């Protein structure tokens, strides 16, 4: 038998790349860690689940439809989004979660030797996709836990194609206000694509928070990402979308993989987007959890960062990976933050009080 060695076929930028290892399913984790239940506070999922009408769509989804390809370009969902935001349907692209959209945008605009700019401590997928596509990711250190607008603008050169801004930032929860955003866009001066990732925008209640959907009318180089995974509780169906000027979106569409978004996800998203009551209920729940955790973490004298989102960050006097294992023994799953370049920090999803109290009880025990 011929022996086959794959190594010589692998490009250097792939060989050097760190693969992402997702956590195991709950049943496996329960066996491994010896706990009888797991409270998942690691992925910022909405504890209320999807809005009621979206639930009904999922329940009523006919098995026969599983044999039929979904709309390849999410026709009805784009129509719904266009009505919801008062835009042209061609200003939207729907993707299999925001991760896929990041890939579309980078593929559309970058070629060998180009770079993207983002922060060093933010949602890692911008950096990953750029790197495993062979492009340079320039990572600008956060300032006071927030994106450094001046630093990012200063890093731009002629090979910069895209600047990714996570607003509010994952994992710190900080956000750029409207003035900061405008200053940054002025510095970019319409020369580069700016992606404003608003995955958590529905959680923000502050008046000075910039609304990318409105601002894109002023800035044709602005692309906005949104998701149904967080506020709308459809993470398991994998669906998100981007919006921008028709001119820019037409270019991005060339790199899209059609049929990547399943039919039930499209149908559920159509019903989810209008449910303002769900948004308000979720915000109330988040506010209660945020207030409770803030108070308890003060009591425990643990430094923490509470932003405008559905999670908080806590600095521990121990290794975050050790804290992960210890908390798992108590059936609490958090996100350790070394991989986000925040050693000894954990990120905790805001959730129902039962889970928040269980987290604080377990945390108190392991400290």
Q: Closest Cα to residue 346, out of 316, 326, 322? A: 316
Q: Closest separation between CB of residue 367 and other proteins, Å?
A: 11
Stretch that binds other proteins, among 179-187, 198-206, 237-245, 311-319 (CB under 8 A): 311-319
> Can residue 318 be called a binding residue for other proteins (CB under 8 A)?
yes
Distance CA 326, CA 332 (A): 9
> Can residue 1 be called a binding residue for other proteins (CB under 8 A)?
no
One residue of 82, 136, 255, 338 binding other proteins per CB under 8 A:
338
Which residue reads 């608003």 in tokens?
198
> Can residue 329 be called a binding residue for other proteins (CB under 8 A)?
yes
Q: Are strands 115-119 and 136-140 parallel, antiparallel or unpaired?
A: parallel
One residue of 13, 26, 33, 148 binding other proteins per CB under 8 A:
33
> Can residue 321 be called a binding residue for other proteins (CB under 8 A)?
yes
> Can residue 89 be called a binding residue for other proteins (CB under 8 A)?
no
Stretch that binds other proteins, among 247-255, 267-275, 306-314, 341-349 (CB under 8 A): 341-349
Distance CA 171, CA 308 (A): 11
The token duo for 64 is 């026969």
Taking the least distance from each CB to other proteins, the nearer of 33 and 259 is 33
One residue of 328, 348, 360, 362 binding other proteins per CB under 8 A:
328
> Can residue 336 be called a binding residue for other proteins (CB under 8 A)?
yes
Q: Closest Cα to residue 124, out of 143, 110, 137, 112? A: 137
Q: Closest separation between CB of residue 123 and other proteins, Å?
A: 13
Site residue total, other proteins (CB under 8 A): 30
Q: Are 44 and 289 in contact (CB under 8 A)?
A: no
Helices (H), the chain: 12-15, 26-33, 52-60, 75-85, 98-109, 125-132, 149-154, 178-188, 212-215, 246-253, 263-272, 276-299, 320-329, 353-366
Q: Are 209 and 239 in contact (CB under 8 A)?
A: no
One residue of 10, 11, 14, 28 binding other proteins per CB under 8 A:
28
Where does this chain bind other proteins (CB under 8 A)? Answer: 16, 18, 21, 23-24, 28-29, 32-34, 120, 317-319, 321-322, 324-326, 328-329, 335-336, 338-344
């Amino acid at each position: 038998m011929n022996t086959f060695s794959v190594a010589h076929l692998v490009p250097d930028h792939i060989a050097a790349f760190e693969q992402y290892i997702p956590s195991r399913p709950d049943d496996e984790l329960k066996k491994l860690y010896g706990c009888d239940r797991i409270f998942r506070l690691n992925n910022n999922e909405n504890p209320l689940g999807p809005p009621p009408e979206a639930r009904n769509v999922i329940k009523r989804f006919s098995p026969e439809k599983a044999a039929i390809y979904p709309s390849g370009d999410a026709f009805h969902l784009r129509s719904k989004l266009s009505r919801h935001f008062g835009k042209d349907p061609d200003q939207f692209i729907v993707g299999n979660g925001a991760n896929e959209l990041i890939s579309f945008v980078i593929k559309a605009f970058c070629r060998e030797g180009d770079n993207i700019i983002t922060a060093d401590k933010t949602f890692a997928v911008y950096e990953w996709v750029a790197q495993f596509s062979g492009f340079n990711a320039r990572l600008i250190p956060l300032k006071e836990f927030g994106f450094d607008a001046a630093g990012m603008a200063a890093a731009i050169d002629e090979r910069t194609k895209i600047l990714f801004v996570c607003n509010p930032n994952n994992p710190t929860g900080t956000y750029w206000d409207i003035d900061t955003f405008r200053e940054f866009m002025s510095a970019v001066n319409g020369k580069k694509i700016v992606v404003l990732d608003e995955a958590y925008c529905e959680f923000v209640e502050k008046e000075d928070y910039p609304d990318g959907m409105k601002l894109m009318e002023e800035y044709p180089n602005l692309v906005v990402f949104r998701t149904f995974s967080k506020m709308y509780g459809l993470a398991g169906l994998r669906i998100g979308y981007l919006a921008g000027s028709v001119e820019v979106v037409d270019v991005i569409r060339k790199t899209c993989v059609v049929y990547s978004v399943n039919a039930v996800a499209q149908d559920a998203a159509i019903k989810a987007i209008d449910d303002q009551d769900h948004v308000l209920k979720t915000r109330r729940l988040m506010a209660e959890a945020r207030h409770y955790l803030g108070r308890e973490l003060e009591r425990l004298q643990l430094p923490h960062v509470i932003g405008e989102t559905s999670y908080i960050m806590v600095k521990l006097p121990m290794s975050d990976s050790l804290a992960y294992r210890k908390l798992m023994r108590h059936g609490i799953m958090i996100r350790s933050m070394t991989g986000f370049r925040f050693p000894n920090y954990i990120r905790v999803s805001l959730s129902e009080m039962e889970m928040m109290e269980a987290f604080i009880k377990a945390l108190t025990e392991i400290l």
